[in-house]
Amino acid sequence: MKIYSLVTILVFFIVFLMQVYCSDTPEKFFKVFPIGKVEKRGDDTVITIFEKYSDALNGLQDFSHVVVLYWFHENDTPEKRAILQVHPRGNRENPLTGVFACRAPVRPNLIALTVCKIVDIKGCTIHIDKIDAFDQSPVIDLKPYIPRIDNPQEDVRLPKWLKE
């Protein structure tokens, strides 16, 4: 029986960890933490940011719109994550389309994106005009809407089903 030194075992372990955690394989995972949640209170729609992230809101009040990334939490099942093609907008007259080519709420990673108009910001509460999220949807990130970056004007191409 061959005996390995502690250094040799440690080197093998480090190489193994590098292969698992530093490779570009599908087995690589990332941790995403909610920073807040969507709350719908009658006609009022707000994004409530958790207190520990309140400092990250500094400066957002200078923007008219915010890009909200949130989690489609009500679709978080293995079956719905496995759906890779849909008829856009649930319309069977639209061609079967890959979920990366439409805004379907079923997809491998249930990240949703909506541009919202900021009505007001008070403390950790961002009042917005509307959002196509469910009440209590976890918010995973916010970014300011910057027209010259987020709204290309040249060479925009759209599929036929979206133009109709």
3-state secondary structure of 148: helix
Q: What does the pLDDT read at residue 113?
A: 93
Q: What does the pLDDT read at residue 41?
A: 87
- What is the CATH architecture assignment of 30-147? Beta Barrel (2.40)
Query: Which two three-digit tokens encode residue 12?
Result: 């093998």
Q: In this predicted model, what pLDDT tens digit does every residue of 93-151 receive, in sequence order?
A: 999 999 999 988 898 988 999 999 999 999 999 999 999 999 999 999 999 999 988 88
Q: In this predicted model, what pLDDT tens digit does every residue of 75-88 receive, in sequence order?
A: 888 899 899 999 99
Distance from chain centroid for Cα 150: 16
Which residue ranges make up each domain of the chain?
30-147
Predicted TM-score (pTM) of the model is 0.79
